[in-house]
Structure 1
Amino acid sequence: MQTIRCLELKAKELHSQNIISGPCHLYAGQEACAVGIEAAINSTDRLITAYRSHGFAFTRGGSLREIIAELAGRRTGISKGRGGPMHMFTKTFHGGHGIVGSQVPLGAGLALACKYQNTDELSVCVYGDGAANQGQVAETMNMAAIWKLPVIFVCENNKYAKGTSVNRCTVNTNFYKRGDVIPGLRVDGMDILCVREATRFASDYCRSGKGPIILELLTYRFFGHIIGDTEDKYRSVDEVDEVRRKRDPISVLEGHIVRNNIASMEELKEINKKSLNDVEEAARFAIQSTQPPLEELCNYIYCNNPPLEIRGINPWTKLKSWS
């Protein structure tokens, strides 16, 4: 969690320096969700989420170098500099998706593949409270229930869909009940132990052949919807400060650790220091990496042999498509 926090703070800094450009959605404050889920599933399970994806890219096996390089649009990035802050992938992490709610039917498709191939794997499909109102989410849940797909639907409820409070756009804010006949749990998403145990229960439920289950993780983002948005228009500074003081997931875990004599504050500070150093080293690597050249613009779009010749931005520009 500390590594993800340092990663996001560094991303904010690099964005202010124009090294990272475009929309950048920070995960700071929600780290217990990604790390708690990861602690209770297998490395071979599938996971898909929306555009606030840096934390999951890291827990699903992406290196800090690859992730920060991708944020900066470098060719050494996890998506070769083509996805930027929103679209990252690993072998078992199927993105970061920019279209709200679009990842939910894809997540059910991953679960269908797990069932079709007769594996013991499952799909974790993460979406936000705003996406919960998408029609495709309800349709997917209906299909998943009929086919008893091994999918955990995870609603990261951070209280605000972009700049709109859930109470202003949602009649039924009990997102864990949205599946009708699909069982659901509401969990403290700021406590990694709660997330881990709830995910462990959900994982066992899915693998037993009972079908889908919903987890609603009550969480909170410490920054705006994207870097630079006017968050003071829809939530107060006092509200954010209170959550930071009382419910910071890293502080909550540190409290558990120290009270149970698992480690001292000095040991925790050393862990935090290492996380910061690792992120700083990765940032230096990313900044020194080159951007993908224009002639590679059409690479990895089509699967073909031999490569196709594609017209560029005008009839006189020719690009090769390499798979």
Structure 2
Amino acid sequence: MRRYNERRRILVTGGAGFLGSHLIDRLLERGDEVVCADNLFTGTKRNIEHLLAHPRFEFLRHDVTFPLYIEVDEIYNLACPASPVHYQHDPVQTTKTSVHGAINMLGLAKRLRARIFQASTSEVYGDPTVHPQTEDYWGNVNPIGPRSCYDEGKRCAETLFFDYHRQLALDIRVARIFNTYGPRMHPNDGRVVSNFIVQALRGEDLTLYGTGEQTRSFCYVDDLVEAFLRFMDLPAGEDGAPGFPGPLNLGNPGEFTMRQLAETVLRLTGSRSRIVHRPAPADDPMQRQPDITRARERLGGWEPKVGLEDGLQQTIAYFDALLST
């Protein structure tokens, strides 16, 4: 692997976002130099303000739909709005971020011969007809629906990553991320965990879409970031050939209904908020649960360790402090 100095120099796009900022914390803790690139559309400097004076941290305000010319050893491509509220706000820009962003970051990795990580998503499976979802499942996605800017954008990004891998022997790592939660989530991102917690803390009705019997699997952010690092640190093949490219499901296989989540949040917050029902959004998946057999095998027995209640308590404490300021 190429080195510009004695430390790894790592680019994290979307680094001021929820996942990116936690990843950067871990990279700095282990001694790497980190360049954070973010256009601050959904990311915020609040997530990285504790790092701005760090001698091995650099922040660049940059949109990945434009090329970036920089010298690094590894790239984590996390840039893209990830919640329906945000990615549907400007669907054309969302598709550009996934597709043009992938092209630009892959071009940079090609020039540098750098290993590159793609934060893909469980949304590539759409509303699945297979349960739980394995990496071999091709998905059930509406290509023209209101969610397709994100779903199909991420699917196209995966296509580009694997074509660069096959055609140019680029060392790629593609992770399909299932629902993740924890401190630094955006309070207005419309995701179910942040929605329920913020509504409960404010004493507002908890909005349950559809019947509330839809299921999701929730992974605490620390467990996910540990998987990122293990995946990227898998060795290359013989004679410098690319290592295992994925795709790899990363998430917690514990499955909960939306009603169970709402009731747990109410209990942990002590809130007297009511649960109210609203119509389900278009193309909202009924089931979502990762099969992580491949991740367990490839990542040295990696397993999510933080249970839902423990993770929710830490997330509730974060939002309680945020809403009090």
Considering the TM-score relative to the shorter chain, is it more than 0.5? no
Computing the radius of gyration from Cα coordinates, the structure with the larger value is 1
Q: TM-score, normalised by structure 1?
A: 0.36
Higher relative contact order (CA 8 A, sep 6+): 1
